[in-house]
Amino acid sequence: MQTKTVLTLDDVNTLLDAAQKEAEANGWAVTIAVADDGGHLLGLRRLDGAAPISAGIAGEKARNASLGRKETQVFEEMINNGRTAFVTAPLQALLAGGVPVIVDGQVAGSIGISGVKPDQDVQVAKAAVAVLA
Asked whether the beta carbons of 34 and 7 are under 8 A apart, the reply is yes
Instruction: Decide if 33 is inside a domain.
Output: yes
pLDDT of res. 90? 64
What's the pLDDT score for residue 81? 84
Is the model's pLDDT at 77 over the cut of 90?
no
Residue 32 contacts residue 16 (beta carbons within 8 Å): yes
Q: How far apart are CA 91 and CA 88, in angstroms?
A: 8
Per-residue pLDDT, 83: 83
In this prediction, residue 93 carries a pLDDT of 65
The answer to the question of residue 113 being in a domain is yes
pLDDT at 91 over 70: no
Q: How many domains does the chain have?
A: 1
3 domain residue, yes or no: no
User: Under a CB-based contact definition with an 8 Å cutoff, are residues 88 and 99 in contact?
Assistant: no
E-assigned strands of 39-97?
A: 41-46
Q: C-alpha angle with apex 98: 132 to 10, nearest 5 degrees?
A: 30
- φ/ψ of residue 93, rounded to 5: 55, 55
In a domain, 102, yes or no: yes
Residue 1 lies in a domain: no
Q: What's residue 80's pLDDT?
A: 79
Element (H, E) at 107: strand 106-114
For 16-84, where are the E strands, in sequence order? 31-36, 41-46
CATH number, domain of 36, equals 3.30.450.150
| Average pLDDT of every residue of the chain | 92
Q: Is 4 inside a domain boundary?
A: no
Backbone angles phi, psi at 13, to 5 degrees: -65, -35
Give the rounded percent of residues in the chain with a pLDDT score beyond 70.
95
**Contact assessment for residue 52 and residue 29, using Cβ atoms and an 8 Å cutoff:** no
Q: What is the pLDDT of residue 73?
A: 85
| Residues 6+ away with beta carbon under 8 Å from 87 | 79, 94
- Checking if the pLDDT of 131 tops 90, the result is yes
78 lies in some domain: yes
Range of the domain at 90: 9-132
Look at residue 30 and tell me if it is in a domain.
yes
pLDDT digits (tens, 9 = 90+) for 23-73: 999 999 999 999 999 999 999 999 999 999 999 999 999 999 999 998 888
Mean pLDDT value of segment 103-110: 95
